[in-house]
Amino acid sequence: MKESLKILKIGGNVINDPIALEEFLFHFAQIPSKKILIHGGGKKASEMAEELGLEPKMVNGRRITDLATLEIVTMVYAGLLNKNIVANLQKNQCNAIGLSGADGNCILAHKRVVKEIDYGFAGDVDSIDVKTISALLNSQLTPVFCAITHDKNGQLLNTNADTIASELSIGLSEKYDVELIYCFEKNGVLRDVNDNHSVIEKINKPYFEALKKDRIVAEGMLPKLENCFAALEKGVQKVTIGSPNVFYETKQKCTTLIL
């Protein structure tokens, strides 16, 4: 029987709200099983880009990454946000180690091939170093990955954090029973984005296609759900999307189960 492993991706406004983030990290630190945290931080990166006079460009929920933007996201993701998260986990007696995909050669990617849209220095994941990540987990360390990968030729790449979470879950499912949880400020996938109580409790692939057609699911939620289904199709045991409240709230619906 495989050992259990929880992989959580945290993003959205939870990252930008110090109080919400601190509460999330406290509860994340209490998870008794082996665990990995992946974090985004796009809003903070966009704010810094605007302060430096750069206009963030997004297409279908994904960032266009030119060289100047790559420098900013690397500083924000791999530096400021990653180390603040690690420091907060240490405060909660969770021995965390902050990583990018380049560290330990953990996540190898390639620059996205230009088709209809040139995403610039965006990375698509090629492989996960299961052996290295497992060694960290077996050393009682909790890896905290930011959304930066590399191509093994010295080039850093900006990679969607939801994709990193999915790819890590798929790769590590060879050795572990993996549960993948996407956490953000909403109570799951919502039928009405303005009503946090309109949670869709379960979504399978045909239902997802219908929700997409009706524009109930759109923009940033599209790649998130695509990553969820990719994970399930490739060996991940369980995938959910929801609020950090899932750790301590039992009365209200705060997750969507992906089937």
For residues 180 and 166, give the distance between their C-alpha atoms in angstroms, rounded to a whole number: 8
Q: Is 32 exposed, middle or buried (CB count within 10 Å of its CB: 0-12, 13-18, 19+)? A: exposed
Q: Is 92 annotated as a binding residue?
A: no
Q: Could you tell me which residues are beta bridge partners of residue 52?
A: none
Q: Is 42 annotated as a binding residue?
A: yes
Q: Is 158 annotated as a binding residue?
A: yes
For residues 95 and 29, give the distance between their C-alpha atoms in angstroms, rounded to a whole number: 9
For residues 7 and 104, give the distance between their C-alpha atoms in angstroms, rounded to a whole number: 19
For residues 179 and 159, give the distance between their C-alpha atoms in angstroms, rounded to a whole number: 21
Q: Is 242 annotated as a binding residue?
A: no
Task: Please give the annotated binding residues for substrate, written as ranges.
Answer: 41-42, 63, 158
Task: Please give the annotated binding residues, written as ranges.
Answer: 41-42, 63, 158
